Amino acid sequence: MSSGRRLLREAVVFGAALGISRGLLFLLLPIYARVFSTADYGAFDFMMSLMRALFVPAVLGIDWSLSLMLRDGDELGRRRAASSALAMQGLWGAAVVLTSVLMAPELAAALLGNRGYTGLVLVTEAYLAVQIVNNFAIAIARWRREPGTYFRLTVGYIACGVAVSVGLVLIGHEGVTGALAGLAIGGAAFIPVAAILVRHALARRVAIPDMLRSFTLGLPFAALNATEFMFPFLLRLALVSVAGLPAVGIFGAANTICLGVILISDAFSAAWAPHTLSGEHADGDTRRVIRLYAFVLIVLTAALALVAGPLVSILLGGGAFREASEVVGALALANWFKSVRQNAAMPLIAMGSTWARSGLNLVPMAVGVTLAYGLALHFGILGAAWGFAAGEAAGLALQTIVLRRVFRQVLDSRALACMAATYLALLALSRAAAPSSPGASIIVALILAAAFVGTLVLLRAVRPGELRDMMTAVNGLAASLVRR
């Protein structure tokens, strides 16, 4: 199997796992949007972003250090390396979780101005502990390139958590605390299953040198993850300081509606990272692959923006959440910029320049948070969304320049600029047209979608021959999966 076909196959399998697991999490949105007020949903979304922010110091990049430790040596050495990294992860993660538990009242007061949220913070930290363990098992399957195991781990873990969470909210009437506690309890119940699925990849003994190596190798990845996981949290922190938890609830709901963009991004990244680090890609791969990937993703982003209004009505039921429809277009574009930026920089890790990638990530975070806070003061939630998008655009622009001049990694910046500009024109046209009847809205959306794709082809952001090649590859993969 060629490296390109293997990349596509792994992207599909990883995508299926992420699609189902994210789909299960997505089910929480229409349920909780109808059960919770905007303030309660804001508290839920804020605590989830807090958990992800705390995840960075708790994991410290040790899960990503496996990507380097499993590249060399024989099978026994790789198994010992995985066990040693697991031991290091357990010791370090336990210390961070215990510290955050002791600081729970102070965190509640500092972040939300009320120690009454201490219980929510404690439940969130319990979920963090569960997340650390299951994440490491998933990392083993990912870096060993075992899509089947990755699928079972990812889907099983989320399914257990979602089932218990919904049960506690709808049957137990436990509110936001029950929603978070359910995710923690369900995830904890899945840990024995995860242990069974990855035990073949672990040795019975650990080696202290490997434990220390996993720690030191993980540090640059921790710096990288700090910007990726802290950015969403800081955006919400800026928004809650300006407009309160109800605004965070609307912002978080709108961002969840962008699941399709985020899902494709995560699926591609899950396959692209091992592919890049394995050395299978050629020097010219990144430019073409990123351009084609960006095209596929911008088409999905445009489709999402065109149907934002009906989606919000269906998923959130209107009411106080109706304002979410105004920010979906901006958030979808922000996630497009973010995905292209992240995946385009992946070869830096293969080149041993992880610290450089981490440094480049500081730009979108600094610019995005600053603009989000300033614009939110004047334009509310919509301002925060466009601040997020502007920060990601600035980050991608600077990264493109640095990649070309310092690392000789050339992206098709003209094609990417055409995609972004055409998308902005699409947003303006869709707002200007905005027919009142549902039938006319569908017709206008179809016309705009066709014009959008046609414009990108005319601008040569993608070539007709490349579209035919993509369709051929997808059809071939579908046929092989059916035969299996």
| pLDDT tens-digit series, residues 160-199 | 999 999 999 999 999 999 999 999 999 999 999 999 999 9
pLDDT at site 289: 84
pLDDT at site 262: 76
More confident residue, 234 or 358: 234
- Count of CB atoms within 10 A of residue 33's CB? 24
**Rounded-to-integer distance, Cα 86 and Cα 88, Å:** 5
Judged on CB neighbours under 10 Å (0-12, 13-18, 19+), 366 is middle
Instruction: Give 8's pLDDT tier (boundaries 50, 70, 90).
Output: low
User: Residue 239 corresponds to which tokens in the numbers above?
Assistant: 């928004």
For residue 142, how far is the Cα from the chain centroid? 16
Average pLDDT over residues 380-397: 94
**Rounded-to-integer distance, Cα 326 and Cα 37, Å:** 19
Residue 280 has pLDDT above 60, yes or no: no
CB distance 407 to 353 below 8 Å: yes
3 state SS of 283: coil
Residue 63 has pLDDT above 60, yes or no: yes
Handedness of CA 154, 160, 166, 169 (dihedral sign): negative
Taking alpha carbons only, the member of 373, 370, 341, 372 closest to residue 357 is 341
Q: Give the DSSP letter of residue 322.
A: G
pLDDT at site 467: 75
Q: Give me the percent of the chain exceeding a pLDDT of 90.
A: 52
Q: Give me the percent of the chain exceeding a pLDDT of 70.
A: 90
What are the CA-CA distances from residue 126 to residues 74, 82, 242 (Å)?
37, 24, 29
pLDDT at site 355: 75
Instruction: Give 476's pLDDT tier (boundaries 50, 70, 90).
Output: low
Average pLDDT over residues 207-211: 93
Which DSSP string corresponds to 364-423? HHHHHHHHHHHHHHHHHHHHHHHHHHHHHHHHHHHHHHHHHHTS-----HHHHHHHHHHH
Rg (CA), the chain: 22
pLDDT at site 181: 96
Average pLDDT over residues 42-54: 94
What are the CA-CA distances from residue 120 to residues 47, 85, 157, 320, 478 (Å)?
8, 30, 21, 24, 45
| pLDDT tens-digit series, residues 231-278 | 889 999 999 999 999 999 999 999 888 877 777 776 677 667 666 766
- Kindly report the pTM of this predicted structure: 0.82
The residue with tokens 């050495």 is: 77
Average pLDDT in the chain:
86
Residue 452 has pLDDT above 70, yes or no: yes
pLDDT at site 337: 94
pLDDT at site 478: 54
pLDDT at site 153: 93
| pLDDT tens-digit series, residues 19-36 | 788 788 888 888 998 999
Average pLDDT over residues 56-84: 88
